[in-house]
Structure 1
Amino acid sequence: MSIDFPESRELVLDRLIDAPRQAVWRCWTEPDLLVQWFTPAPWTTKSADMDVRSGGRFNTVMQDPDGNAHPNSGIYLDVVAGEKLVFTDAMSEGFAPSESPFIVATLTFTDEGQATRYRAVVRHFTEEAKLKHEEMGFYPGWNAAADQLEECAKTLRG
C-alpha cells in the first residue's frame, strides 16, 4: 500500500552507517544500547522503556545539559525485525491519544556491503511542526545522533 504524503511536512535523514545492519538494529531496539547514543551530546538519554512490537511502547527520558528531564512517550506502529521501525508520539501505550502529537517516524535498515543504509523519514502533522523541528536542529541533531549510533554499533562487531 502506498500513501502519498506531502513532502513539505517531511524531514529525511539518509546515511550510510559503517556497521552491520543487525548491530544498528540492536542499537535501536535494546534499551541499554539506545541510552548510549540516542540523544546528541551534550544531551543524554537517561532511560528507555521499549516493547518492540506493533502497539508496543517507545518511551525515553532525555536530559538537557542543565539537568532538566524531557520525557517522550509513544508507540510503535509497525515493526519488521531487522528492517523497519515506525513509531509515533501521537499515541501512547494502549493507543491513548497524545495531547500534542508531533511526528511519525519511519526508520529503514538495509544492507549495503558490510555497512547499513539507515534512512529516517520523519513526518509531521503540520508544516508548522516540521518547520519547528527543523529550526530545533533536526539535521545537525539527527546527524550527531547517527554518528553516535555508528560508534555504538561498531562496538557490537564480533
Structure 2
Amino acid sequence: MTENTVNEIERMVVTRVFDAPRELVWKAWTDPKYIMQWWGPKGFTAPVCKMDFRVGGKLLCCMKAPDGQEGWNAVEYHEIVPYEKIVSSMYFSDSKGNKIDLAELGIEHEAIDGAYDVTIFEDLGNGQTRLTHIGNEPMESAKNSGQLEGWNEILDKVAAVVAGLAQAK
C-alpha cells in the first residue's frame, strides 16, 4: 500500500487535553511504572510492563481482563522526538514479545498496511497538554470493534495518572 493510500483512509484518532505540563504527560506515557496504571481499558490491569524506550526498542505489557484472562501486547519504537512525538507499531504477542497471528486466536483486527501508531504531545500553554493518538486501524473498524471506546477509557486512566503526578509535583 502506498503512502498516499495510508493518508486517504480515515484512521482512528483519540485526543485528550490534560491540565498538566507536557513533561508530566510524557512521563505518564513513557515510564513503565505509570504505564502499568493505565494500560488497557476500564477494568483491566497491567501486572507486567517491561520497556526499552529507544528507537528500535520495545515495550512488553501484560493486560489482565476483569475475568483474570491475560493477553500480551508489544510495541516497537520507530521514532521518538522527546516530549513531542512517538511513532510505533503495536501488536498482540506472547509473554516474550513474539507477534501472534490474531486470526489464530479468532480475533478480527483491521490494520492499514504501512501505517504506524503516532502519539503527539502538544504544549497548549497555560499548563495544558493535548495528547493525540493516531492508530493504525480505520476509524470505522475501531468504532465497530470497540477499540475507539477502549482507547477513550485508556485516556481516562492516563488522566488519573497525570493528575496524580501533577498533585505530587
- TM-score w.r.t. the length of structure 2 is 0.77
Check whether the contact 1:75–1:91 (CA below 8 A) recurs between aligned residues.
no
Contact 1:35 1:45 in 2 (8 A): yes
AA of the residue aligned to 2:160: E
Query: Deviation at 1:7?
Result: 4.3
2:144 maps to which of 129, 135, 140: 135
Which residue number corresponds to residue 107 of structure 1? 119
After TM superposition, list the pairs within 5 Å mapping 1:54-93 onto structure 2: 54-89=55-90
The corresponding residue for 2:165 is 156
| Counterpart residue number, 2:105 | none
After TM superposition, where is structure 1 displaced by more than 4 Å over at least 4 residues in a row?
none
Q: Residue 69 of structure 1 aligns to which amino acid in structure 2?
A: E
Cα distance in 2 for partners of 1:61, 1:145 equals 15
Q: Distance in 2 between matches of 1:74 and 1:53?
A: 11
Consecutive unaligned residues in structure 1, runs of 5 or more: none
Q: How much does 1:77 deviate?
A: 0.9
Q: Report if the CA contact (8 A) 1:90-1:100 is conserved.
A: no
Give the structure 2 partner of residue 119 of structure 1: 132
Residue 156 of structure 2 is aligned to residue 147 of structure 1: yes
Q: Give me the identity figure in percent.
A: 29
Q: Return closer, same or farther for 1:149/1:26 CA change in 2, 3 Å cut-off.
A: same
In structure 2, relative to structure 1, the CA distance for the partners of 1:97 and 1:145 (3 Å cut) is closer
Q: Would you say the 8 A contact 2:90–2:117 is kept in 1?
A: no
- Where does residue 21 of structure 1 map in the other structure? 22
Q: After TM superposition, give the deviation of residue 47 of structure 1 in Å.
A: 1.5
The answer to whether the aligner puts 1:49 opposite 2:50 as a matched pair is: yes
Paired letter, 1:106: V
Letter matched to residue 80 of structure 1? V
Q: CA RMSD in A?
A: 2.6
Please tell me the residue identity of whatever aligns with 2:157: Q
Distance 1:74 1:106, change over 3 A: same
